[in-house]
Chains A and B, each alone.
Chain A
Amino acid sequence: MPESRPAISIQNVTKRFGDVTAVSELSLDVPDGCLIGFLGPNGAGKSTTIRMIMSIIYADVGHIDVLGHSALDAKDRIGYLPEERGLYRRMRVRAFLRYIGRLKGMSRAAADASAVGWLNRLNLPEALPRRCEELSKGQQQKVQFVAAVLHDPDLIVLDEPFSGLDPVNAALLSRVIRELHSEGRTIVFSTHVLHQAEQLCDRIFLIDRGIKLLDDDIDRIRTRFRERIINVELAEGAALPEIPGTHLGNSKSDGGPLELHVDEDVNEQDVMRSVIEAAPIRAVSIREPSLDDIFTQLVTKGRGS
């Protein structure tokens, strides 16, 4: 069965600003319908890549296809929440959303109806007749999010969508992003907050200094970066005998769980069974690498330090 066309196809793209190479020979396919996190430290090239996807700026070298078209032709099918967010201060929310909707090819009535629906969904119906400058920062951010999704796009690009949001609104936005994803939309979002990416994404793209470090499904990444460590919490007063095919990474006096490092040719499940049989335990688990660990490991390695 042939694979479906990627929602975004970036082929060998390079972008320079003067002497600075913001993105270097980047190739990336974002599968249709996936929720991908663009991760990377500050100045890594995330926003530049996103701006090129949005055809706000253009690549010096290489080619980008979005939803099977050139990015410019697909603009009506893309929703975009930029990192540098803003509203017309004196404009009323209704007029602003109508204007953005019209720019995205909607009729006036459809834009108005969609604006009402989305503001209700984000618990902000009272904002509609108000001037943008009268809204709080969080409310403004919600309005900006509505502007990104108002026209029912197939691809939604969110650059740091959670920055500036309180935990309640961040949770609300996370829920809405999941709902949009479950409706089959492709979602790209960049973030510095790795645990949010970990919770939301089914795919990760990691970039540093304009160079791609990682691009894969999150499960495969975890498997790939699994450290083959089994955490063991012993019962009170119990001691763990030597388990063949492993060696201890720490001692009991450290206070935390014991870390059993599993040799390359040994099955982790077999080791867990051996542990359970060898001593009374409270818990035993295969340690999953966090995205923080992977991120730090890759960025540090990529920078050669």
Chain B
Amino acid sequence: MSRLLTVAGREFRHTVVTKAFFIGSVVVPVVIVLISIGAEMFLKPNIPAMKGPLAVIDGSAPLIEALSENLAPPAPKTVAIDPSQRPEEILEAAVAEANKQSASNTRPDTSQLTLETRPASELDAIKKGIREGIWVGAIEVEPGSLEPEAPGGGSAIIWLAPDAATSHVDLLTKCTRQAVVDARLRGMGMSPEVVRAAVDRPSIDTIRIGSGGGEQSESKLTRYLVPVAFMGLMWIVVMTGGNYLLMSTIEEKSTRVIEVLLSATSPTGLLAGKIVGFAGVSAVMLAMYLIVAAVLMVMFAALDIVSIGDVLLGAAFFLVAYLMMAAIMAGIGSAVSDVTEAQSLMGPAMLILMLPLLLIPVVTEDPNGTVGVVASFIPPLSPYVMVLRIAAAPEPLPLLEVLLALAWAIACAAGMVWAAGRIFRVGVLMQGKPPSPLQLLRWIRYR
């Protein structure tokens, strides 16, 4: 046991206490948090204000009125949070409002913009004034465009200085279009605000009626984002931990230090130590990302998105997924002599290991469908698919099914680790051509 811990300790220290690990597993999550928190601060664009007169060529009173309304700075809006709302609803509302606010933050300040109607005969002089910076620009709406049935929806020209900001172009384009529509509506005796309110699409709340009579509301966040995030995180962490184990085994084999280690401990003890050590490495990575997730969830008051039970089940399946990955990587690492050879064996393995990612749309769409249920019992897919199903299922999965899948996955992981141990003890002393899959099977039976 002490040897196992010694091996595990070395693998852990010599992986975690490195610049590469620090950057990959500590700096990156911290940067993600910083970017998430401070995106506004770091990424806020510098948008110049629109100052001065804007000419409206041959502008009618309804068009000027509509343009004035649309170009006026928006009033600040406060959104009240309903305490009775569920966390994911609050989160969605907050995200929607944040998007709106973000959009308004990119709108140029128009508080010092004035509209002036000018005849078409002055257009050339105004163009000259635009070039000289006297005028902000000019809007020329083609005659007939304010008619309800204007051909092609009408048209307009916006004249601007060559160095006009893109945001100015976008705002004037959007406001001119909207002003023409508003003026048409007013001409028809309709209120643009009323019409906008009438065509505003309703929000839909999906509530699934549970088999026990309970009601479970769902959102896109819980339906898709959370399961994919958790499974993706598990896949990345497990794959990274397994990759560390692979590289460590190849290094020990290629540098021939393996025989020194085997003179001090058994192959099984060595492999067990490596698996435990890199489990610690994976746990550190997972912890870093979970801390990031927790920070974000606290920020958005969304801690209730996942239950403690789901977290514990996720941890159990994470461990199983890691053991399966470790077995695969240890088997490959011990069978090859260098990284190039490892890549040839990693190809088929990666095809299998990528399957959980390919199953995401199918399983999240129908967590209890045939594909999801069957894949829950196929190693090494089972832990990933189960995590996906647990997170995506509108109702908790049947406990018996979860426990059965977990027990089966543990048994499979144990079998894979055992087989990897058999391959490891033969493979680590072999040099030369990498074995065929048939030879690997022979090594498992080798005395």
Complex: how many Å from CA A48 to CA B256? 16
Q: Is A5 an interface residue (CB 8 A)?
A: no
- CB atoms of B260 and A80 under 8 A apart: yes
- CB atoms of B260 and A147 under 8 A apart: yes
- CB atoms of B264 and A100 under 8 A apart: yes
- A90's nearest neighbour on chain B, judged by CB, is B14
- CB atoms of B257 and A87 under 8 A apart: yes
Hey, what's the 0/1 contact readout for B329-355 against A, CB within 8 Å counting as 1?
000000000000000000000000000
- CB atoms of A87 and B255 under 8 A apart: yes
**Shortest distance from the beta carbon of B88 to any chain A beta carbon, whole Å:** 47
Q: Is B259 an interface residue (CB 8 A)?
A: yes
- CB atoms of A56 and B262 under 8 A apart: yes
Complex: how many Å from CA A57 to CA B261? 13
Q: Is B266 an interface residue (CB 8 A)?
A: yes
Known contacts A86-B255, A88-B251; is-contact A75 B265 (Cβ 8 Å): yes
Complex: how many Å from CA A105 to CA B256? 22
Residues of A within 8 A of B256 (CB): 82, 84-86
**Shortest distance from the beta carbon of A85 to any chain B beta carbon, whole Å:** 6
Known contacts A91-B14, A105-B2; is-contact A86 B262 (Cβ 8 Å): no
- Which of these, B14, B255, B261, contacts A103 with CB under 8 Å? B261
Q: Is B174 an interface residue (CB 8 A)?
A: no
Q: Is A78 an interface residue (CB 8 A)?
A: yes
Complex: how many Å from CA A4 to CA B388? 66
List CB contacts (< 8 Å) of A137-176 with chain B. Answer: 144, 147
Hey, what's the 0/1 contact readout for A80-99 against B, CB within 8 Å counting as 1?
10101111111100000001
- B257's nearest neighbour on chain A, judged by CB, is A86
**Shortest distance from the beta carbon of A95 to any chain B beta carbon, whole Å:** 8
Complex: how many Å from CA A88 to CA B261? 11
Residues of B within 8 A of A58 (CB): 447
- B10's nearest neighbour on chain A, judged by CB, is A99
Q: How many residues of A contact B (CB 8 A)?
A: 29
Q: Is B169 an interface residue (CB 8 A)?
A: no
Hey, what's the 0/1 contact readout for B235-267 against A, CB within 8 Å counting as 1?
000000000000000011001111111111110
Residues of B within 8 A of A104 (CB): 264
Residues of B within 8 A of A78 (CB): 263
Complex: how many Å from CA A183 to CA B265? 26
**Shortest distance from the beta carbon of B59 to any chain A beta carbon, whole Å:** 75
- CB atoms of B255 and A89 under 8 A apart: yes
Residues of A within 8 A of B106 (CB): none
- B14's nearest neighbour on chain A, judged by CB, is A91
Complex: how many Å from CA A299 to CA B342? 41
Q: Is B234 an interface residue (CB 8 A)?
A: no
Residues of A within 8 A of B259 (CB): 51, 56, 80, 82, 84, 86
Q: Is A60 an interface residue (CB 8 A)?
A: yes
Residues of A within 8 A of B191 (CB): none
Complex: how many Å from CA A49 to CA B186? 101
Q: Is A24 an interface residue (CB 8 A)?
A: no
List CB contacts (< 8 Å) of B129-185 with chain A. Answer: none
Q: Is A72 an interface residue (CB 8 A)?
A: yes
Q: Is A102 an interface residue (CB 8 A)?
A: yes
- A96's nearest neighbour on chain B, judged by CB, is B257
- CB atoms of B263 and A82 under 8 A apart: yes
- B261's nearest neighbour on chain A, judged by CB, is A103
**Shortest distance from the beta carbon of A13 to any chain B beta carbon, whole Å:** 13
- CB atoms of B447 and A75 under 8 A apart: no
- CB atoms of B264 and A103 under 8 A apart: yes
Residues of A within 8 A of B10 (CB): 99
Complex: how many Å from CA A20 to CA B351? 36
Residues of A within 8 A of B262 (CB): 54, 56
Q: Is A55 an interface residue (CB 8 A)?
A: yes
- CB atoms of A55 and B260 under 8 A apart: no
Residues of B within 8 A of A103 (CB): 3, 6-7, 261, 264-265
- CB atoms of B266 and A55 under 8 A apart: yes
Known contacts A54-B262, A58-B447; is-contact A99 B255 (Cβ 8 Å): no
**Shortest distance from the beta carbon of A31 to any chain B beta carbon, whole Å:** 22
- B5's nearest neighbour on chain A, judged by CB, is A102
Q: Which 6 A-B pairs have the closest CB atoms?
A: A86-B256, A80-B263, A103-B264, A86-B255, A82-B259, A86-B257
Which residue numbers of A lie inside 8 Å of B, CB to CB? 51, 54-58, 60, 72, 75-76, 78, 80, 82, 84-91, 99-100, 102-105, 144, 147
Which residue numbers of B lie inside 8 Å of A, CB to CB? 2-3, 6-7, 10, 14, 251-252, 255-266, 429, 447
A-B contact pairs, 23 of them (CB 8 A): A51-B429, A56-B429, A57-B429, A72-B266, A75-B265, A80-B260, A80-B263, A82-B259, A82-B263, A86-B255, A86-B260, A88-B14, A88-B255, A88-B257, A89-B251, A90-B14, A99-B10, A103-B3, A103-B6, A103-B7, A103-B261, A104-B264, A144-B260
Given contacts A75-B264, A86-B252, A88-B14, 9 further A-B contacts (CB under 8 A): A55-B266, A60-B447, A80-B263, A82-B256, A86-B256, A88-B251, A88-B252, A99-B10, A104-B264
